[in-house]
Structure 1
Amino acid sequence: MIDNIASYILVMLGGSAYNIWLLKNYFDTVPKELDESAIIDGANAWQRFIKILLPLSMPMLVVIFLFTLMGAFGEYVLAGTIIQSPQNYTLGVGMYQMISGKFAQSWGEFAAAALLSALPLTILFGLLQKYIASGLVAGSVKG
């Protein structure tokens, strides 16, 4: 399982207990009256989840997606342990190799790579900002 990109992906897909806890607490804030009114209207459990809970939880799902993606971008310990060959290096391990040799002094290239690696996350955060902002003000106005 060492030096196999599939095993690394499998480890990263294991998820995080923090994300599960975050989503569970978010679902606890959803009013039970919404669920009860859907039951009275004749919705089954799957319909209640798809049509009521999932749209309401979209801001938290976006936040969990961004947290997971940022964690994968910055993860170094597992990638450095599991992946050994240079063609399979992740971003963090590859960038560390730029500056870790005995005579490695490519700090300019390292800084440029760090800036470019932050660009996709910045763009994605900008595109998903409306979901994050809507989650912040959800339920703040009664009526």
Structure 2
Amino acid sequence: MNPKLKRSLWAWLALSPFVVIILFPFAVMFFTALKPAEEVFSFPTRWLPVQWRWQNFIDMWHGANFGPALKNSVIVSMASTALTLAASVPAAYALARFPFRGRGHYRQFLLVTQMLSPILLVLGLFKMAANISWDGANLVDSHFGVIVAYAAFNIAFAVWMLSSYFATIPRDLEEAAWLEGCGQGRAALRVFLPLATPAIAVSFIFTFINAWNEFAVVYTLIRSPENKTLTVQIVDMVAGQYTVEWQLVMAATLCATIPVAVLFAWLQRFLVGGLALGSVK
């Protein structure tokens, strides 16, 4: 047997218990989502449904207003991620390339800010959003307010993470571009940024997942049903309900995890490259 294939088999064999533990909740969600209502609480418990009811996904899509909520989550997550990267990439570049007094303490301050949970600030954030006018109205029940809040919470961590990676990119490459006639801005765009793609992709993944899964801020700021995101919409299927249709809740939860899983699978090569290359000076 090929030694490389043999090592891979042994590695997968060693990791198989962890794979089972990680995939077990998703298997429970999937099989519960396919059960009729009468089988969800059947005793004794059956892991596999007797009758596979794919209609649950259609009922969930229409009954839980899943489509508009999915659209809102995509808009809010993508916009807040784009705003975060637009602010953090130049800031991290400046932090990595231009030394100044207290730079080390400033980087530590960025990390310390992550110790504050957003739930501690939601009351003040709500008052601020209610007092800020945007297009003739305040930022309560506005996607723009949620996008700005998400970006504000994620910029510090993105700057801290990006600056650590940017510091590993040799400055000599930019200086060589300067000798060829490139200005500093052009050298940063054409030489530096392509080398920083893995780190930017890693920051994109973390920021997008944080925005996609966030609940406290969007639950506080969003009021109307048409503006709710998936996290709030799924909670509304359980909270305050006399009877909970768990098969529909599991179907909605499973569908809500698919976009993040697809994005992570698509960008995982950048994630591995960013984590590996960022540790080498």
Does 2:200 align with 1:61? yes
User: Residue type of the partner of 1:77?
Assistant: A
User: Residue type of the partner of 1:3?
Assistant: D
1:97 and 1:139 map into 2 onto residues whose CA distance is 41
2:221 and 2:244 map into 1 onto residues whose CA distance is 26
Deviation of 1:8 after TM superposition, in Å, equals 1.9
Does 2:136 align with 1:2? no
Deviation of 1:40 after TM superposition, in Å, equals 2.4
Report 1:56-95 matches (<5 A).
56-95=195-234
Does 2:257 align with 1:114? no
Asked if the contact 1:98/1:104 (under 8 Å) is kept, the reply is: no
Report 1:97-136 matches (<5 A).
97-136=236-275
Q: Report the TM-score when normalising by structure 2.
A: 0.46
**Structure 1 residues 79 and 57: CA distance shift in structure 2, 3 A:** same
CA RMSD of aligned residues (A): 2.2
Structure with greater Cα Rg: 2
1:104 and 1:56 map into 2 onto residues whose CA distance is 54
Deviation of 1:26 after TM superposition, in Å, equals 1.1
Asked if the contact 2:198/2:271 (under 8 Å) is kept, the reply is: yes
Q: Report the TM-score when normalising by structure 1.
A: 0.86
- Unmatched 5+ stretches in structure 1: none
Asked if the contact 1:5/1:88 (under 8 Å) is kept, the reply is: yes
130-139 or 41-50, larger mean C-alpha shift:
130-139
Question: Structure 1 vs Structure 2: percent identity of aligned residues?
Answer: 33
CA displacement 1:74-99 (0-9 Å, x = unmatched): 11111011001222111111111111
1:17 and 1:26 map into 2 onto residues whose CA distance is 15
2:215 and 2:186 map into 1 onto residues whose CA distance is 41
Give the number of aligned pairs: 141
Match of 1:51 in 2: 190
Give the match's secondary structure for 2:242.
coil
